[in-house]
Amino acid sequence: MKKKSATQWFLVLLLTLLIAGCSTGKEENATEGSKNSSAKDGSTLVIARLSDAESLDHQFMSTINAASVTHGKIYEGLVGRDKNAEIQPLLAKEYKQVDDTTWEFKLREDVKFHDGTDFNADAVKKTFDRMLDPNVGSPKAALFKMVKEVKVVDDHTVQFLLSEPYSPLLSILASHEGGIISPKAIEKYGKEQIKEPDGTGPFVFESWTPGQEIVLKKNESYWGTKAKVDKVVFKVVPEETTRVSMLETGEAQIAEPLSVPMMETVEASKNSEVYRSEGFGTEYIGFNVKNEKLSDVRVRKAISHAVEMDSILKGVYNNVGSEANSLMGSKVFGYNPDMKTYEYNLNEAKKLLAEAGYPDGFEITLKTMDSRERINVAEVLQSQLKGIGIKLNIEVLEYGTFVEQVNAGNSEMFIISWRNATGDADYNQYNLFHTNSIGGAGNTFFYSNKEVDGILDAARMEKDQEKRIELYAKAQELEMDDALYIPIRVIENLAATAKGVEGFSISPSGYLEINDVSVK
């Protein structure tokens, strides 16, 4: 039998003391059934999470963290992805591409929204009309800018009429942006963000207490296979040790995200275990090119040359997640395996800084969310950049505040991730680098390059998949030459689950998959 290391014994003892001395601090307000769960089918599934959703309106939300609450649970799309990430019919029972710019979907006739309204072609049209309405101002409208019209053919047939060919259409429709909203909810909220989401999925929205929890209940009238649990509580628990301790006490059955340093503690426990799966996305260090110093590509290249990534991957992540060479994982369509990052070279870094007018370096601030791993990365960067005279200040923010500030351009450098909801390069490239996506849509570099824009537009229209790959390879090379980011690693999805939890997974896109979860 393998002996526990001293570190393991210490962490287990620490966790035991924490369990005895503290809990969530909100036990008296715990949702009924979430505390000391009997752990059986039909019970409440409690998911202890780092942070709250910033929105429950998928036409406005900017993170997979938020989308995990609604996508596939409350909202469903015309198509979805199966467990092998292959696109399959969902609310549409079949579909076809009529010509280069026309897609037709035949809709299911046995589906109702949670409010009892019939799901039909008119509901599909109203959903996308809202997204594309400039008066609504959805940051996701850019993803569907090629949709000229959503045409109702009959009650259960709808066509997407495009202004130009768009190869990734199905991949976008299968992501959270493609979820169909009840017409009543659209009428109620109009251009305001939807606070009580209403869709067709296996769970119905019950309540949202911002900063505390989101509660869903089982949809007893669901058209498909019903959920196995009666209720789901997404509980906000910022402290990771507390999240993990909740699995020990039965207050929660899933805790996520799980950091690499905490993996050893979970693995040593008799009551919980580690869930791992490879993701589509990456973590990276980003530069806001609107910043006076960072607007000079030589400065960005200098910083890139001064970062020794191996020590970060080993020291911070313990080699969990593979080294990244771009902002796409190797499983994403359009990934360029030949991309080269900036080699560690302090002499070249100092030379570039001097050429840019900063021979003695300068002071700059990096922002990060309140994640232990991200903070550790920031501290390593702080140490490494001293080698070229840069004083790096670290500002740690609550997740929602961090996202808000980075989206608004209130940043200089930042550590962030992009999980890629669709598995297609278009979602990564268009959102992160196209001029139309500056700000909340994903381009938090505030980068604009007409050549890159043209390539990304062409790749969207190209039907030949090999030519699309070539176009994305060229775009990635231009972006790397402009030194907009420093890739850290391909994300590996990590969570802790209580023993007896079955059917849980995290998709390559990063969505929590809980529709088949049972707790025994």
Q: How far apart are the first and last CA of the chain?
A: 27
Q: For residue 35, what pLDDT is reported?
A: 36
CATH 3.10.105.10 domain range(s) in the chain: 279-492
Q: For residue 43, what pLDDT is reported?
A: 86
pLDDT above 60 (res 33):
no
CATH 3.40.190.10 domain range(s) in the chain: 6-59+201-271+499-519
Q: For residue 74, what pLDDT is reported?
A: 98
Q: For residue 85, what pLDDT is reported?
A: 84
**3-state secondary structure (DSSP) of residue 124:** helix
CATH 3.90.76.10 domain range(s) in the chain: 79-189
Mean pLDDT of 460-481: 96
Question: pLDDT-based confidence at 6, cuts 50/70/90?
Answer: very low
Per-residue pLDDT reduced to its tens digit, 317-350? 999 988 999 999 988 999 999 999 999 999 999 9
**Cα→Cα distances 373→201, 320, 370, Å:** 34, 12, 9
Q: For residue 39, what pLDDT is reported?
A: 41
Higher pLDDT, 19 or 386: 386
**3-state secondary structure (DSSP) of residue 235:** strand
Alpha-carbon torsion (488, 486, 138, 127), positive or negative: negative
Mean pLDDT of 34-61: 78
**3-state secondary structure (DSSP) of residue 86:** coil
Q: For residue 149, what pLDDT is reported?
A: 97
**Cα→Cα distances 217→29, 48, 214, 515, Å:** 18, 17, 10, 12
Per-residue pLDDT reduced to its tens digit, 248-261? 999 999 999 999 88
Q: For residue 261, what pLDDT is reported?
A: 87
Beta carbons within 10 angstroms of residue 241's beta carbon: 17
Question: pLDDT-based confidence at 40, cuts 50/70/90?
Answer: low
Mean pLDDT of 370-378: 93
Q: Taking each helix axis from N to C terminus, what angle separates 372-385 and 260-268, rounded to the nearest 10 degrees? A: 140
Q: What is the 3-state secondary structure (H, E, C) of 57-85?
A: CCCCCCCHHHHHHHECCCECCCEEECCCC
Mean pLDDT of 474-499: 96
Contact call for residues 286 and 516 (beta carbons, < 8 A)? no
pLDDT above 90 (res 420):
no
Per-residue pLDDT reduced to its tens digit, 82-140? 888 889 999 999 999 999 999 999 999 999 999 999 999 999 999 999 999 999 999 88
**With pLDDT > 70 as the criterion, what percentage of the chain qualifies?**
92
Per-residue pLDDT reduced to its tens digit, 211-242? 999 999 999 999 999 999 999 999 999 999 99
Alpha-carbon torsion (369, 375, 377, 382), positive or negative: positive
Range with the lowest mean pLDDT among 127-131, 141-145, 230-234, 289-293?
A: 141-145
pTM: 0.77
Q: For residue 242, what pLDDT is reported?
A: 97
pLDDT above 70 (res 41):
no
pLDDT above 80 (res 314):
yes
Q: Which of 280-299 are b and which e, b meaning 16 or more Cβ less than 10 Å from the residue's Cβ?
A: bbbbbbbbbbebebbebbbb
CATH homologous superfamily, domain 6-59+201-271+499-519: Periplasmic binding protein-like II (3.40.190.10)
Higher pLDDT, 460 or 35: 460
CATH architecture of 79-189: Alpha-Beta Complex (3.90)
Q: For residue 372, what pLDDT is reported?
A: 87
CA distance 195 to 114: 15
Question: pLDDT-based confidence at 278, cuts 50/70/90?
Answer: confident
Class of domain 279-492 as given by CATH: alpha beta
pLDDT above 90 (res 17):
no
- Per-range mean pLDDT, top range of 20-29, 369-378, 404-413: 404-413
Contact call for residues 508 and 424 (beta carbons, < 8 A)? no
Mean pLDDT of 395-399: 95
